[in-house]
């Protein structure tokens, strides 16, 4: 017996009232992207659930892809049958027979959302349970802890049979929470932060600061590869590459060494915020984790954060490095992040950066030089790439401008 569809349950999004249609549309898009390798599947969505019709595609492979889609609470391989008691008996028997091993137990969980059907839940229990017990030798009932739980759901249009509930990735469909800019370095943390933000429904555009010739083409490649991993979640991702060399050099000349890192971060944040405005985003996401390095002490964040009142989301703020690494491994970015290429911030790292910078001091140091024109120039010269999901033969990105 083969399942002909997969029933998808929405979970949290079904509580979102008026916004539900938008959520369902975003989820449908995510599902389509995840199932792109299966050209025959068809997606049917309604307000409270979704069906993926397999049309001959391999159910196990499809399930493997659905497990990564944000916004799915759980799903079940299922069979659609006509609202006819004889057909229901026959199909139930075929399904349970295909799953049954000698000596196993079962129960039936009927659910009737359409009361017009000729059998009520007790009636379904008796008719189908009796039919199975008669026809499968050795089969026993266990209502507490059955090996096989046959769910029979009677709806207006048909009856659905399923035996298994598979846990989904949870979260919210990508794009349903709005758009944010992800400050993406070549490190371990920021791709994980981006993943977690996407899990909560954010659409992400990545911003990377690039300082040639101090950072090489290969370090840019690394960021492109990391972006491509994130693109796998939603089909594609924009990557804005900011030329940062001039500003870094100006910082080196104008700002006392122990404050150069604080100013570097402030400039990055100002530029990212300008790009955010242009792209209609409402937040900035970083990979910061409290106390991890000098720039991530609370004092540093306080001094750096001063340059904008845009929400800065830090999904990793309370996480330990080992936990972040675990996620990086799961989402397959760790190996890329571990490639030994230089980042613009490691090039100019001062020997003793301030771990407790003061706002008034950094403001005073920055006041002796007008960074604004350089910031505007960097924003104008941003190179924007659209990184596509991996697609073996084809080139993975195209230039927008």
Contact between 273 and ligand ATP (CB under 6 A)?
no
- Site residues for ligand ATP, 293-322, by CB under 6 A, read 293, 295-296
- Site residues for ligand ATP, 141-160, by CB under 6 A, read none
Is the CB of residue 59 less than 8 Å from the CB of residue 3?
yes
Contact between 208 and ligand ATP (CB under 6 A)?
yes
Listed in sequence order, the DSSP H helices in 113-244 are: 121-135, 189-199, 217-234
Class of residue 18 by CB neighbours under 10 A (exposed 0-12, middle 13-18, buried 19+): exposed
Residue 358 structure tokens: 């003061």
Q: Find the part of the chain contacting ligand ATP (CB under 6 A) among 9-17, 112-120, 201-209, 372-380.
A: 201-209
Residue 69 structure tokens: 């889609």
- Identify which of residues 71 and 315 has a Cβ nearer to ligand ATP in the complex: 315
Contact between 225 and ligand ATP (CB under 6 A)?
no
Mention every residue, 6+ apart, whose C-beta is less than 8 A from residue 388: 228, 231, 235, 236, 394, 396, 397, 398
Residue 351 structure tokens: 């020997």
- Least distance CB 356 / Mg ion (angstroms): 20
Contact between 180 and ligand ATP (CB under 6 A)?
no
Contact between 209 and ligand ATP (CB under 6 A)?
yes
Among 162, 176, 177, 185, binds Mg ion (CB under 5 A): 185
Contact between 187 and ligand ATP (CB under 6 A)?
yes
Distances (CA, A) of 204 to 194, 230, 259, 285: 7, 9, 30, 9
Among 189, 225, 366, 396, binds ligand ATP (CB under 6 A): 189
Residue 188 contact partner, candidates ligand ATP, Mg ion, none, CB within 5 to 8 A by sort of partner: ligand ATP
- The count of residues interacting with ligand ATP (CB under 6 A) is 20
Q: Find the part of the chain contacting Mg ion (CB under 5 A) among 17-25, 43-51, 183-191, 253-261.
A: 183-191
Contact between 187 and Mg ion (CB under 5 A)?
yes
- Least distance CB 209 / Mg ion (angstroms): 11
- Least distance CB 279 / Mg ion (angstroms): 23
Residue 274 contact partner, candidates ligand ATP, Mg ion, none, CB within 5 to 8 A by sort of partner: none
Closest CA to 48 of 76, 70, 16: 16
**Pairing between β-strand 397-399 and β-strand 202-210 as defined by DSSP bridges:** unpaired
- The Cα–Cα gap between 183 and 190 comes to 7
**Pairing between β-strand 42-45 and β-strand 49-53 as defined by DSSP bridges:** antiparallel
Contact between 188 and ligand ATP (CB under 6 A)?
yes
Sheet of 283-285, strands arranged across = 312-313, 283-285, 178-183, 202-210, 236-243, 383-388, 397-399
Residue 366 structure tokens: 């920055």
Residue 225 contact partner, candidates Mg ion, ligand ATP, none, CB within 5 to 8 A by sort of partner: none
Q: Find the part of the chain contacting ligand ATP (CB under 6 A) among 49-57, 106-114, 153-161, 180-188.
A: 180-188
Full DSSP string of 214-270: TS-HHHHHHHHHHHHHHHHHHSEEEEEEEE-HHHHHHHHHHS-HHHHHHHHHHHHHH
- The Cα–Cα gap between 368 and 375 comes to 16
Residue 5 structure tokens: 């569809």
Residue nearest to Mg ion (CB): 187
> For residue 213, is the peptide bond before it cis, meaning its omega torsion is within 30 degrees of 0?
yes
Residue keyed to tokens 């499968």: 136
- Site residues for ligand ATP, 340-399, by CB under 6 A, read 343-345
Residue 190 contact partner, candidates ligand ATP, Mg ion, none, CB within 5 to 8 A by sort of partner: ligand ATP
Q: Find the part of the chain contacting Mg ion (CB under 5 A) among 53-61, 185-193, 239-247, 325-333.
A: 185-193
Contact between 203 and ligand ATP (CB under 6 A)?
no
Interface with Mg ion by CB under 5 A: which residues? Answer: 185, 187
Interface with ligand ATP by CB under 6 A: which residues? Answer: 183-185, 187-190, 207-209, 286-288, 292-293, 295-296, 343-345
């Amino acid at each position: 017996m083969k399942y002909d569809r997969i029933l998808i349950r929405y979970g949290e999004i079904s509580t979102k009232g008026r916004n539900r249609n938008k959520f369902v549309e975003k989820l449908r898009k995510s599902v389509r992207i995840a199932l792109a390798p299966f050209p025959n599947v068809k997606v049917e969505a309604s307000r409270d659930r979704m069906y993926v019709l397999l049309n001959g595609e391999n159910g196990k492979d499809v399930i493997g892809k659905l497990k990564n889609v944000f916004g799915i609470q759980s799903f079940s391989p299922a069979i659609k049958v006509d609202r006819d008691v004889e057909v229901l008996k026959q199909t139930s028997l075929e399904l349970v027979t295909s799953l049954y091993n000698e000596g196993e137990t079962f129960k039936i969980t009927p659910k009737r959302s359409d009361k017009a059907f000729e059998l009520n839940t007790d009636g379904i229990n008796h008719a189908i349970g009796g039919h199975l017990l008669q026809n499968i030798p050795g089969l026993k009932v266990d209502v507490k802890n059955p090996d096989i739980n046959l769910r029979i759901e009677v709806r207006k249009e048909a009856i659905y049979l399923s035996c298994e509930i598979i846990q989904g990735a949870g979260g919210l469909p990508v794009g349903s929470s709005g758009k944010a800019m992800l400050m993406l370095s070549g490190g371990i943390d920021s791709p994980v932060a981006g993943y977690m933000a996407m899990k909560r429904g954010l659409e992400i555009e990545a911003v990377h600061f690039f300082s040639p010739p101090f950072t090489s083409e290969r370090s840019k490649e690394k960021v492109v590869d990391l972006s491509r991993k994130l693109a796998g979640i939603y089909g594609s991702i924009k990557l804005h590459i900011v030329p940062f060399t001039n500003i870094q050099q100006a910082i080196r000349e104008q700002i006392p060494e122990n404050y150069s890192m604080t100013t570097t971060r402030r400039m990055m944040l100002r530029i990212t915020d300008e790009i955010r405005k242009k792209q209609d985003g409402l937040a900035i996401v970083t990979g910061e984790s409290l106390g991890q390095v000098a720039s991530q002490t609370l004092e540093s964040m306080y001094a750096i954060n001063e340059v904008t009142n845009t929400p800065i989301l830090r999904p990793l703020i309370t996480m330990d490095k080992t936990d972040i690494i675990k996620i990086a491994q799961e989402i397959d970015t760790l190996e890329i992040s571990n490639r030994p290429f230089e980042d613009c911030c490691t090039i100019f790292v001062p020997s003793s950066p301030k771990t407790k910078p003061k706002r008034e001091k950094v403001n005073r140091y920055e006041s002796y030089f007008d960074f604004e024109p350089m910031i505007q120039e960097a924003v104008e010269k941003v190179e924007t790439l659209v990184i596509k999901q991996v697609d073996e033969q084809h080139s993975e990105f195209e230039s927008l401008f």
